[in-house]
Chains A and B, each alone.
Chain A
């Protein structure tokens, strides 16, 4: 039976890319889902969340350095 948390993680992970603020929730949701049962959706959600977080933090650091 598919884990509903994996779907949530996937959606949050994808939304983390345009809305970086969602990335912690995506990472948290994906990690919980992966602990219960590994699934591709959760892995992709985790990847999206991590990508969103890295670029959100990186973007802020970049701005601070330039400004």
Chain B
């Protein structure tokens, strides 16, 4: 009798394990793949004049498109002034309040709080958004912090959301899309800080770049908060806290999903918001790839999508306890079916520039975008092993810069998502190598980008320079300072590019030479197709010519910052748009 009971128990364990792990996960992916994509809600008249974006699915890699079905390229940067970074000079004080005011009134009418080197980045003010538009950007990735959205469990900070809405309003005024970003780095700034390097080979940490979860959602179980090789994630306390999140300890994942739902409820009808990036740089904690991505991360993404769209792609499961891979999530009543949902790959992919798992369809929601972080030769494995290795002589990635993009496209196709570079950036001293190469890859693969980052104060310490588009500030003082130093002209010239913002030919090709300002684009379209729109930033001065099958002269509109918007009407067949080489305008400070 006992032997029979034992056999039944073992068999049950087998069945439950199968349901909770790969067999269950793959069957749900198959079901999702076979489910007809939902029809997005009708696009209503937009309040701000920006088209709603969606993802078009065809023969190749899906792509971001506007209401007229034109392929849309998003170029932008990442201002970090809304992130809840730790601040101060005394590293033993870990629980510092938010440095910059949250009240939108502190930023009204062009006001901007003082900057200081005691925090990693300057405040985000209206002038910043206007300067982004002047560089020809059409989007901004806007990081937010869970710790400020829900500082106490169940208590949502409406004022912080008002502050986010304020920035969205600034963006709307200058025609920039906003990609909301649930940002985190190394899980939380509340992981604590051990006063000494208590583990062999470890170092005491600086909390300066730790951010994300609120204190109440950070479970470190008393593990020491130290790091190895200056890698903020390689920290036992961070590993434990991240793992606690993925296993939904004490229902913290449910709280996070509810927070995302509240954010999307606020912006549900706002087309200025292109979409939301659900979780920045997901760190597996103690889990390993590919199981982390397949059984924890992407199922979590599906649950967020279920919650905010009302889809039911996973199995109904109890919430507030560990939810295995096949589980979906209850409808939280938002019913947002018009925004893009950006899904960042696991953080380990930044190290490999190669898929760390074979991603399968995660949701039948059609507007998915795979967010790739491109940090080749910065965080890839050869540079972590030998920090003195040079990009020019590095022996990894074997496929060069293209490796990450080639595989990124395949990953996106498998998931049924468009591809977008949600982060890339580098030490400004390496712009001529790193930045040039990344931008070239983005042109070849027709991916948009969000540049990390708009402004930074003092860099990550040591020899590290601030990564921003602007020079940093004087870091030898903690006194009040202006928002930032001068724009870096060499960097701005690379980022302020001519590009086809929208085109009815998804397979067009183009290239831009930032040394001469020369731009050429080849496309094919039928007569009557929606026009192709090319952005020419103010720094580019060459004359615009079109050739081939176009209907009439192009319309060239001058923007308030001196840039040009070129609109070309297809005449049925192949056509080209060129911008002649000409001396580039100079950037002021």
Contacts and interface: CB of A to CB of B under 8 A. Distances in A.
A17 B410 CA distance: 25
B554 to A, nearest CB: 38
A9 B361 CA distance: 32
A44 B18 CA distance: 12
A14 interface: yes
B26 interface: yes
A67 B11 contact: no
A17 B360 contact: no
Given A63-B359, A66-B414, A41 B26 contact: no
B414 A20 contact: no
A66 B361 contact: yes
Contacts of A60: 358
Interface string A32-56: 0000000011001001100110011
B413 A40 contact: no
Nearest to A48: B14
B33 A66 contact: yes
Nearest to A10: B10
A20 B14 CA distance: 14
B14 A62 contact: no
Given A63-B359, A63-B360, A66-B414, A18 B14 contact: no
Nearest to B10: A44
B382 interface: no
Contacts of B7: 40, 44
A30 to B, nearest CB: 12
A50 to B, nearest CB: 11
A44 B8 CA distance: 11
A20 B360 contact: no
B281 interface: no
B22 A13 contact: no
A58 B360 CA distance: 12
Interface string B389-422: 0000000000000000000001101101000000
Interface string B7-38: 10011011001100111001001100100000
A17 B11 contact: no
B29 A62 contact: yes
Contact of A51 (B18, B295, B413): B18
B573 interface: no
Contacts of B21: 17-18
B324 to A, nearest CB: 10
Nearest to B411: A67
A62 B78 CA distance: 36
Contacts of B11: 44
A57 to B, nearest CB: 11
Contacts of B291: 18-19
Contacts of A67: 358, 410-411, 413-414
B410 to A, nearest CB: 4
Interface residues of B, number: 25
A63 B290 CA distance: 14
A18 B21 CA distance: 5
Given A40-B10, A48-B14, A59 B22 contact: yes
Given A17-B21, A19-B291, A55 B14 contact: no
A18 B295 contact: yes
Given A10-B10, A40-B10, A62-B29, A17 B413 contact: no
Contacts of B30: 62
B412 to A, nearest CB: 9
Contact of B360 (A19, A51, A59): A59
Nearest to A40: B7
Contacts of B26: 55, 58-59, 62
A44 B14 contact: yes
Contacts of A63: 358-360, 414
Interface in A1-36: 10, 13-14, 17-20
Contacts of A51: 14, 18, 23
A19 B416 CA distance: 25
B33 A18 contact: no
B17 A59 contact: no
Contacts of A66: 33, 360-361, 413-414, 416
Nearest to B19: A17
Given A55-B22, A59-B358, A18 B17 contact: yes
Contacts of B18: 17, 48, 51
A67 B358 CA distance: 9
Most buried by B among A44, A47, A66: A66
Contacts of A55: 22-23, 26
A25 to B, nearest CB: 16
A56 B414 contact: no
Given A67-B411, A67-B413, A56 B22 contact: yes
Contacts of B22: 17-18, 20, 52, 55-56, 59
Contacts of B361: 66
Contacts of A48: 14, 17-18
Most buried by A among B18, B22, B359, B413: B22
Interface of B: 7, 10-11, 13-14, 17-18, 21-23, 26, 29-30, 33, 291, 295, 358-361, 410-411, 413-414, 416
Interface of A: 10, 13-14, 17-20, 40-41, 44, 47-48, 51-52, 55-56, 58-60, 62-63, 66-67
Given A55-B22, A63-B360, A66-B416, 11 more contacts: A17-B17, A48-B14, A48-B17, A51-B14, A52-B23, A56-B22, A62-B30, A62-B360, A63-B414, A66-B33, A67-B413
> What 4 pairs between A and B have smallest CB-CB spacing?
A63-B358, A67-B414, A67-B410, A66-B414
14 contacts: A14-B17, A17-B14, A17-B21, A20-B22, A44-B14, A56-B22, A58-B26, A59-B22, A59-B26, A62-B30, A63-B359, A63-B360, A67-B358, A67-B410
